[in-house]
C-alpha cells in the first residue's frame, strides 16, 4: 500500500503541473472563500474568462484527456484525467460551464449523429465556443424522467415541439441542447420517447431562470412553443429515446472526478470556528459535545476520501472501479447539510447572521441554504439508495404500477 504515483503518472503530473504553472495562478489558501474573485464576478464576465481558459486547455489537448486525439483529446487514460483534475484544482481557474456538454451531450451526439454532424459540433464544444445543455427533467418528470410530457409531433420533414423542461443548468447561456421528447403517448412510457438536438436560439424557445430557495439562480425553466426541429436532428430512432438517454447518463457516470476538497466549508473551517468561538464554558473546541461532532464528520469525510483512493487505485491499474464509488453523493450532501447546521449552532444566537460581516463570511450559512439542493440534484438521496440497493446489492426493483400501461392511461395526480 502506498499513495504514490506510478512512474508514468508522475511524469504526466509533472508535465501538467508545469503547464498549469506557466498558464494559471495557484489558489489562495482559503478555497471556498467569498474572497476568491471567481465567486464575485458576474456570470457574463465569468463565462468570458471560462471560455478563454477552455480554449487554452483544448489547444493543449487537456480539455478532454480521455478523448481520442482525432476528436481533440489527448488519447489518455481515466487516471490521467484524474491527475489533471487534481492538479488543476490547485489553481485558480474557472470550471463548470462545459462539463454537461463535454461529459454528456457531445458523447451522445457523437454516438448517434452522422460523422459530419459530429465533426461540426465537437471542436466548438471542446474549445468552449459553444455550450450545451441537457433538456430531460420536467415539472412532472423528475426522478421518473421517463414520465415526461413534452410532445414532438411529426410535420413533414420537421418535428414540432410543445412543452416545458425544468432544472436545466446553464440553459440561459447555452447554444445547443439535447432534448428528450414524447413522440407516442399511446405506448408504454419508455417506448414513446425520441431524442433530438437543437439550437437554443430556435424560434419558440424561451428560457426563464428559477430563483432557488438559496437566493441564487443556477437553473432554468425552458418553454417550447411550436419549436420546429428538422428530422435530421433526431438522435437515434423514433421511439428509442430512452435508450439514447441511458447512453447520456452512462457517460455522466463515467465522468470521473478526483479534484480534492469540496466546494463548501468543511472540517478545517469547523475547527477554526470552534477555536474562535467562546462558549459559556470556554472555547467551543474544548467542549465535549462539539468535539464529538467534529470527530464524527471528520471520520465520515475521511471515509469518503479513502473511498476515492480505492477508486483511483482501480483506475491506476486500468481496472473498472468497484461499486464503492457509488456512495459518494449520498454521504456528501446530507453531511454538508448537518455539518453546516451544527456550525451555526456553535455560533448560537449569532449563527442566524450571514454575509460578509459574519463568521467566515457566512460560508456555513450559505452551504446550509445550498445543501437541500445538493440532496436532490443529479439523483435524490432516495433514488441513489435505490440504485445502490438494486445495482450493488442486487435487490429487486420496485413494483411498477406503470408497467405495460400506455403513457396516456397513467394517473397523473395534480
Q: Are 63 and 50 in contact (CB under 8 A)?
A: no
Number of residues that bind another protein (CB under 8 A): 53
Single out the residue of 172, 167, 150, 168 nearest to residue 159, CA to CA.
150
Single out the residue of 251, 190, 168 nearest to residue 410, CA to CA.
190
298 binds another protein (CB under 8 A): yes
34 binds another protein (CB under 8 A): no
- x/- track of binding to another protein for residues 327-346 (CB under 8 A): x--xx---------------
Q: Which residue has the cell 472526478?
A: 257
Pick one of 324, 338, 345, 402: the residue that binds another protein (CB under 8 A). Answer: 324
Q: Which stretch binds another protein (CB under 8 A): 14-22, 246-254, 347-355, 392-400?
A: 392-400
Rounded CA gap, 381 and 387, in Å? 10
Q: Are 108 and 196 in contact (CB under 8 A)?
A: no
Closest approach, Cβ 111 to another protein, in A, equals 31
Cβ proximity to another protein: between 123 and 291 the closer is 291
Catalytic: which of 252, 292, 296, 382? 252
Window 70-89: residues binding another protein (CB under 8 A): none
285 binds another protein (CB under 8 A): yes
Q: Are 412 and 187 in contact (CB under 8 A)?
A: no
294 binds another protein (CB under 8 A): yes
Q: Examine the residue annotation and report whether 252 is marked as an active-site residue of this protein.
A: yes
Q: Exposure pattern of 52-88 as b/e (b: 16+ CB <10 Å)?
A: ebbebbbeebbbbbbbeeebbbbebbbbbbbbbbbbb
378 binds another protein (CB under 8 A): no
How far is CA 393 from each of CA 314, 326, 386, 390, rounded to the nearest angstrom? 20, 12, 10, 6
Phi, psi of 178 (to 5 degrees): -105, 135
For the beta carbon of residue 144, count every other beta carbon within 10 angstroms: 12
Cβ proximity to another protein: between 147 and 334 the closer is 334
Pick one of 393, 412, 413, 414: the residue that binds another protein (CB under 8 A). Answer: 393
Sign of CA dihedral 301, 303, 309, 315: negative
For the beta carbon of residue 290, count every other beta carbon within 10 angstroms: 22
Closest approach, Cβ 270 to another protein, in A, equals 8
Closest approach, Cβ 12 to another protein, in A, equals 13
390 binds another protein (CB under 8 A): yes
Closest approach, Cβ 91 to another protein, in A, equals 21
Pick one of 27, 111, 243, 268: the residue that binds another protein (CB under 8 A). Answer: 268
39 binds another protein (CB under 8 A): no
Q: Are 234 and 195 in contact (CB under 8 A)?
A: yes
Closest approach, Cβ 315 to another protein, in A, equals 8
Rounded CA gap, 242 and 190, in Å? 6
303 binds another protein (CB under 8 A): yes
Footprint of another protein on this chain (CB under 8 A)?
Answer: 1-5, 9, 267-269, 271-272, 275, 285, 288, 291-292, 294-296, 298-300, 302-307, 309-310, 312-314, 316, 324, 327, 330-331, 382, 384-386, 388-390, 392-399
The catalytic site residues sit at 252
Amino acid at each position: 500500500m502506498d499513495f504514490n504515483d506510478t512512474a508514468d503518472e508522475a511524469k504526466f503530473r509533472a508535465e501538467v503541473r508545469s503547464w498549469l504553472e506557466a498558464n494559471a495562478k495557484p489558489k489562495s489558501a482559503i478555497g471556498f472563500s467569498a474572497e476568491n474573485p471567481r465567486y464575485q464576478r458576474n456570470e457574463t464576465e465569468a463565462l468570458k474568462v471560462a471560455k478563454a481558459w477552455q480554449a487554452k486547455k483544448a489547444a493543449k489537448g487537456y480539455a478532454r484527456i480521455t478523448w481520442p486525439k482525432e476528436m481533440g483529446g489527448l488519447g489518455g487514460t481515466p487516471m490521467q484525467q484524474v491527475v489533471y483534475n487534481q492538479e488543476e484544482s490547485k489553481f485558480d481557474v474557472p470550471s463548470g460551464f462545459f462539463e454537461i456538454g463535454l461529459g454528456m451531450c457531445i458523447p451522445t451526439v457523437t454516438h448517434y449523429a452522422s460523422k459530419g454532424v459530429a465533426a461540426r459540433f465537437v471542436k466548438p464544444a471542446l474549445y468552449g465556443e459553444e455550450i450545451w445543455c441537457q433538456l430531460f427533467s420536467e415539472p412532472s418528470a423528475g426522478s421518473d424522467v421517463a414520465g415526461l410530457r413534452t410532445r414532438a409531433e411529426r410535420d413533414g420533414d420537421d418535428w414540432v415541439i410543445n412543452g416545458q423542461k425544468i432544472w436545466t443548468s446553464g440553459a440561459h447561456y447555452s447554444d445547443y441542447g439535447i432534448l428528450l421528447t414524447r413522440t407516442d403517448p399511446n405506448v408504454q412510457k419508455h417506448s414513446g420517447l425520441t431524442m433530438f438536438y437543437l439550437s437554443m436560439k430556435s424560434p419558440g424557445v424561451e428560457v426563464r431562470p428559477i430563483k432557488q430557495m438559496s437566493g441564487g439562480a443556477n437553473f432554468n425553466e425552458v418553454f417550447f412553443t411550436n419549436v420546429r426541429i428538422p428530422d435530421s436532428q433526431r438522435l437515434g430512432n423514433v421511439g428509442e429515446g430512452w435508450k439514447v438517454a441511458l447512453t447520456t447518463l452512462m457517460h455522466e457516470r463515467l465522468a470521473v472526478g478526483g479534484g480534492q476538497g469540496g466546494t463548501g466549508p468543511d472540517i478545517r473551517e469547523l475547527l477554526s470556528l470552534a477555536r474562535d468561538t467562546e462558549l459559556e464554558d470556554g472555547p467551543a473546541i474544548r467542549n465535549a459535545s462539539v468535539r464529538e461532532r467534529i470527530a464524527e464528520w471528520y471520520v465520515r469525510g475521511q471515509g469518503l476520501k479513502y473511498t476515492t483512493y480505492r477508486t483511483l487505485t482501480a483506475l491506476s491499474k486500468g481496472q473498472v472501479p468497484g461499486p464503492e464509488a457509488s456512495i459518494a453523493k449520498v454521504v456528501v450532501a446530507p453531511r454538508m447539510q448537518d455539518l453546516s447546521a451544527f456550525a451555526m449552532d456553535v455560533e448560537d444566537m449569532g449563527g442566524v447572521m450571514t454575509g460578509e460581516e459574519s463568521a467566515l463570511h457566512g460560508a456555513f450559512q450559505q452551504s446550509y441554504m445550498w445543501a437541500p439542493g445538493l440532496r436532490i440534484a443529479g439523483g435524490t438521496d432516495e433514488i441513489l439508495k435505490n440504485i445502490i440497493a438494486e445495482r450493488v446489492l442486487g435487490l429487486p426493483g420496485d413494483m411498477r404500477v406503470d408497467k405495460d400501461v400506455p403513457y396516456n392511461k397513467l394517473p397523473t395526480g395534480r
